[in-house]
Structure 1
Amino acid sequence: MLRRLMGAYLNVPAGEVEFTREPCPGCGEPHGRPAVASAGAPHFSLSHGGDLTLIGVAAAPVGVDTEQVPAAHTVGEVSAALHPAERREIMAAPAVRRPAVFTRLWVRKEAYLKGLGTGLGRSPDLDYLGNGGPGTPAWPAGWTIVDVPVGTGHAAAAVRGELHSRYDVRRLDPRGLTA
């Protein structure tokens, strides 16, 4: 599906789309963000969780993530890895809402780290991507965070560098992608 989509952007058959790895921002080795090998190709990010696949395509580095809402015990175990202000937001929510609040914050975090090109190689507690409000830190400068509407049971987010043009969220039928 990714080859078909990127082939449509590049106006080439899906089979001609070649992928590579960008240099890692931490060490410079070629195990960073996946990329299309063609010069001038748009940036992309891919995520899947449960029965949902999310692909972000942009002129600037982009990251996307989607996850199924986890069980309450997972929230307790994994939220310790988040920024302290994000953990406070999760715990401030009614117990029944905590899994959904956690998942919204987690997908923002993973999408941002993918956009940076570090993935979870960068500690998730360093950057705040919470819901904001009085006394909370600002989101990382130069990044745009978009909560992607995906329905109940999942959460999804996309990030990219500063937004200088409009963005679209579209549901695509992969059978309709041709190049």
Structure 2
Amino acid sequence: MIEYVNQLGGGAPSTGPLPAGASAVVWSLDTTATDVGGHRLRDAERVLDAEERERASRMVRPGLRDRYLASHLGLRILLGGYLGVAPREVGLMREDCPCCGEPHGRPAVVGGGVHFSLSHSGDLAYLAFSAVPVGVDIEEIPGGQTVSDVLSSLHPAETAELESLAPELRPGALGRLWARKEACLKAAGTGLALGLTEPYVGSLPEPAAVPGWSLTDLPAPAGYAAALAVAG
């Protein structure tokens, strides 16, 4: 079950308890907003930790930096609500990578308590929270050249599906495929380390069944595709 919650705006959000079992709550956020969940964007660096501030400082384009600050401010506000602590008190870490064992795997809360996933593309961010491992992804629909560039990197069945479509239909199909694939890879914590071949998620209107995960397409504005993967 997925509880899809509309945009996190300028007012303080009502988080409530997380649903039990293999389910998730998903929030959306306009990353161009100047007020996020009752906090002003210009005050974001007072809430973020040193690593987040350092990463933001390396972003030379103001628009890109503001989108990063807004999405991470929103993440901390929502995590704080679910954990019952102030946003600045949320401790974040990286789990060990399942591929190499180094500490650059899935982002996590220090001490556990809630699993989360964050994705941003264009001017939108999606944030997912669950009691079990979860991955969310939102993608702007790609251009035709992107389709050509990645076709050979996908699962052979996915490549065949896309090649069978008229050229004008391929970008939309790749967008939903890519969102599904990224959601699964984020949930598993592998990222792109093992490539894009597995898992097979399909490009058809309904996602393929992925063993061990509940994979679902999410509502998204025109020009975007989004998906959610929840363990179990």
TM superposition score normalised by structure 1: 0.83
Superposition map of 1:153-168 within 5 A: 153-162=223-232
1:142: which partner in 2?
Answer: 212
Q: Which residue of 2 aligns with 1:20?
A: 93
Structure 1 distance, partners of 2:147, 2:179, is 13
Q: Assess if the C-alpha contact under 8 Å between 1:47 and 1:65 holds in 2.
A: yes
Aligned to 1:9: 82
* Equivalent position of 2:122 in the other structure: 50
1:131 Cα deviation (Å)? 4.7
The residue identity in structure 2 corresponding to 1:151 is P
For residues 66 and 118 of structure 1, do their structure 2 counterparts lie closer, same or farther at Cα, with a shift above 3 Å needed? Answer: same
Matched-pair contact (CA < 8 Å) for 2:176–2:203: no
Structure 2 residue identity aligned to 1:5:
L
Offset at 1:151? 2.0
Query: What residue identity is the alignment partner of 2:97?
Result: C
Residues 123-179 of structure 1, C-alpha deviations (whole Å, 9 max, x = no match): 21132101569xxxx6331111010111210001110111xxxxxxxxxxxxxxxxx
Identity of aligned residues (%): 48
Kindly provide the amino acid, as one letter, of the partner of residue 114 in structure 2: P
CA deviation after TM superposition for structure 1 residue 34, in Å: 0.5
| Pairs within 5 Å for 1:115-134 | 115-131=187-203
User: Does the 8 Å CA contact 1:79/1:102 hold for their aligned counterparts?
Assistant: no
Say whether the 8 Å CA contact 2:126–2:136 is kept in structure 1.
yes
Q: Which runs of 4+ in 1 moved over 3 A?
A: none
Report the secondary structure of 1:119's partner residue. coil
Within a 5 Å distance, the mapping from 1:59-78 to structure 2 comes to 59-78=131-150
Residues in 1 aligned to 2:218 and 2:189: alpha-carbon distance in whole angstroms: 20
Q: 1:83-139 deviations in whole A, cap 9, x for unaligned?
A: 011111112222111100001001101110111100000221132101569xxxx63
1:95 is aligned to 167
Question: 1:103 and 1:87 mapped to 2: Cα distance?
Answer: 13
CA distance in 2, matches of 1:28, 1:7: 28
Amino acid at match of 2:214: T
Distance across 2 between alignment mates of 1:79 and 1:111: 19
Q: Quick check: 2:93–2:107 contact (8 Å CA) kept in 1? A: yes
Contact kept, 8 Å, 2:158 with 2:200, in 1: the verdict is yes
What corresponds to 1:84 in structure 2? 156
Q: Does the 8 A contact of 1:25 with 1:32 survive in 2?
A: yes
For this pair of structures, how many residues does the alignment match?
Answer: 157
Q: Which has the higher contact order (CA 8 A, sep 6+)?
A: 1
The TM-score normalised by the length of structure 2 is 0.65
Cα RMSD after superposing both structures:
1.5
